[in-house]
Structure 1
Amino acid sequence: MTEDRTTLLWAQLATAVRAAREARGLSQEKLADLAGVSEGSVQNLESGKPRTRMPQTMAKIEPHLGWAAGSARAILDGGEPTPARAADDGADSSTGTDRIREKLPLRVVDELESDDPLIDSQVIQLPGTGGARMTVVVHGRPDATPEEIQAALIAWRRAERKLQWLPDDDDDNGNTPHAANGS
């Protein structure tokens, strides 16, 4: 392959990566984060600089561009990227996070994505529901001291014990404690 042809194909790959990233509304930083690579790796791919071999990071990036594995190689061979099947699509399945966010109320998503320190989380079985569960995520204040975090953890543990002993649905008065978590 001539040097001019190699340069052209790497430029085409760079253009395709940039276009696919932008079509998905991703910044270089967000794509790097999703793929688990450095932002510099994404920038280098989008620079179009010819290389002697395919960067290893490309395989991590392809799914998040909506491409099937090997699509970058196809572009360098003069072809087009192959769209990923929906189940393999990185934007739809980046550990399932995007799909989960779509199902949750915005205030829950906002809480889960906060930078507040995570204190604890718990999944509690609800009695008499045939397996329904309640999920609790406990965050502290972002500026909390270690002592305040410890106090919040103790308060959460007290509340958690009460949640685990919810009254059985059969007891209208709420007098019969029932272990909600199966213990």
Structure 2
Amino acid sequence: MMKAMTEDRTTLRWAELAEAIRSAREARGLSQVDLAQLADISEGSVQNLESGKARNRMPQTLAKIEPHLGWAAGSGRAILDGGEPTPATAEAPDDAAAAEGALRRKLPLRIVDELESDDPLLDSTVIQLPGADGARMTVVVHGRPDATPEQIQEALLAWRQAERKLRRLPDGEGDEPQAANGS
């Protein structure tokens, strides 16, 4: 009897998680396809998460969709534990000031100016450069400040397509390395 009650509660929690994902996705105006593209997972993975089917282990795709739902990392687990998702938050003021100072010391002024713009931050990623012994490229994507939610979603989808291309660029013949300052 106790095992059946535990199984019922587990099934209910997975259903609650599925509903929370669906609600958060719809509140952001995203289709399942949109969310899948933003999180770089398959549409079937989103459908599975929204099915409410109880699982024995946490799907890896859950962590990939959390930021696109406006949730902090671990929010899916919190729902399964009977809690609520935690909204993604900005850094604490002291942390932000320290980070700003570090950026100003490490980055070229034109990059700092762009990062400090009032344009909304849509996404960012770090791409490891193949065969470059740990070298990587950081990309920050800004949107227009007056963009509608639909325009933001279009920009994010365009970015995802561009990101896929960046990650799959073929090696160029005769490419010469550039100096670290871009000149």
Name the Cα RMSD after superposition. Answer: 2.8
SS for the counterpart of 1:83 is coil
SS in 2 for 1:93: strand
Residue 25 of structure 1 is matched in structure 2 by 29
Secondary structure in structure 2 of the residue aligned to 1:7: helix
2:49 maps to 45
* Residue 76 (structure 2) aligned to one of 72, 79, 103: 72
* CA offsets 1:28-70 (integer angstroms, 9 cap, x no match): 0011101111010000000000000110011110000000000
CA distance in 1, matches of 2:38, 2:85: 19
2:173 corresponds to which residue? none
- SS at 2:143's partner residue? helix
Number of matched residues? Answer: 106
Match of residue 93 from structure 1: 122
Identity of aligned residues (%): 69
Shift of 1:94: 2.3
Q: How far 1:103 moved relative to its partner?
A: 6.3
1:36 maps to 40
Partner SS for 1:37? coil
Q: Identify the residue that residue 8 of structure 1 maps to in structure 2.
A: 12
Distance 1:80 1:44, change over 3 A: same
Unaligned residue ranges in structure 2 (runs of 5+): 92-119, 125-139, 159-181
Distance 2:88 2:81 in 1: 18
Q: Is the 8 A contact 2:121 2:143 kept in 1?
A: no
SS of corresponding position for 1:82: coil
Q: Distance in 2 between matches of 1:101 and 1:54?
A: 36
Deviations 1:66-119 (A, max 9, x none): 0000000000000000000147xxx9532354x424468x9xx99xx5xxxxxx
Higher relative contact order (CA 8 A, sep 6+): 2
Amino acid at match of 2:7: E
The answer on whether the counterparts of 1:68 and 1:81 sit within 8 Å (CA) in structure 2 is: yes
TM-score, length of structure 2 as denominator length: 0.51
Aligned 8 A contact 1:74 1:81 in 2:
yes
After superposition, residues 1-183 of structure 1 pair within 5 angstroms as 2-86=6-90, 93-95=122-124, 96-97=140-141, 99-102=142-145
Instruction: Find the aligned partners of 2:43 and 2:79 in 1 and give their Cα distance.
Output: 22
Following superposition, which runs of at least 4 residues in structure 1 exceed 4 angstroms of deviation? none
What residue identity is the alignment partner of 2:34? K
Determine which structure has more spread, i.e. the larger CA radius of gyration: 1
